Structure 1
Amino acid sequence: MTNKIIPRKYNLSRIRAKFFSCLARKMPFIPGEMRAMIHSFTGVKFESASKTFVGEDVYFDSVRPQLITVGKGSRITEGAKILTHFLDQNFPDCSHFYEGSVSIGKDVFIGINVVIASPVSIGDGAIVGANAVVTKDIPANEVWGGIPAKFISNRESPVPV
């Protein structure tokens, strides 16, 4: 995965993405499948928006939403934040942002208030626990949680209590 510097700007497509993102995030009483469909207008790629659940106040990055892909049957719960850009810490003036893709597999469960803060790939059937911060790839059928997110168990084995 290569990262590149992205310019700071608000073009028409970003303003459109912000509008639809705000609409999907803040409208109460609409089904999660409809939220996924509205988020697809921002540029987020859903394998099947009608089979995907997106909870209230889920934030998909508006800088490069087209770099986010979500697999069929995935569930992204309330308050999750998925970012496609990040700051290069080597520049003290905070002027250098980099971008990278976020890929969420099929039948993935993203818990409440999870933050995906770097370019990552989350494998099919994975579970990310509430309030986790994901900064590296998560293999298929694994349970991860914590800050930063760490391996907890395989889905086939019981989760420790």
Structure 2
Amino acid sequence: MSHSQFTLWKHHSVVGELGKLALRLFFPVFFRPIFYSLLGAKIGKNVAIGGLITDPMLTQIGDYAVIGQDSVVTSHTMVFNNFFLKRVVIGNGATVGINAVIMPGVVIGENSTVAPGAVVLMDTKIPPNEFWGGIPAKKIKDIEAAT
């Protein structure tokens, strides 16, 4: 990653952190999608966000998705001396359980669920209609598609 990308990320992070402070104080769960949209997140309709999105400008959340209380969706991480910045995509109807952690580059398919407390590692792709859990998160079972 170039120095200029890291610098841009730092500036976005400062603005985001100030905004998130205001978010926790004044915005209930169903107003947070509007707030994160103003910070650059792409958010569908009827989304509930109880957790934290650390990099809204690199986050996409589909219609009817739920981000559980105290979960963390992050698009950045440091591994040794390497800084990674990757988009996170959460599909339509997907659920991220309370206290779950979604790392950079993760794609959660439509109608899939991440269990409470799970940690989905960087670049994991969760197909549609699957239930994942654990540390690190792994597939537990298929979810029957709604008719």
CA deviations 1:101-134 (Å, max 9, x no partner) are 1000000111000101231110000011000000
5+ residue gaps, structure 2, are none
Q: How many residues align?
A: 140
Within the candidate set 43, 46, 53, 1:46 is matched to 43
Where does residue 148 of structure 1 map in the other structure? 136
What is the TM-score with the length of structure 2 in the denominator? 0.85
Where does residue 30 of structure 2 map in the other structure? 33
Deviation at residue 47 of structure 1 after TM alignment: 2.0
Q: Which has the higher helix share?
A: 2
Q: 1:85 to 1:155 in 2, by over 3 A?
A: same
CA deviations 1:74-124 (Å, max 9, x no partner) are 0111011111112132x3xxxx31211100000011100010123111000
5+ residue gaps, structure 1, are none
Within the candidate set 73, 83, 101, 1:97 is matched to 83
- In 2, are the aligned partners of 1:18 and 1:42 still within 8 Å (CA)? no
SS in 1 for 2:126: coil
What's the C-alpha RMSD, in Å, of the aligned pairs?
1.9
Deviation at residue 72 of structure 1 after TM alignment: 0.6
Letter paired with 1:19: L
Where does residue 84 of structure 1 map in the other structure? 75
- In 1, are the aligned partners of 2:110 and 2:128 still within 8 Å (CA)? yes
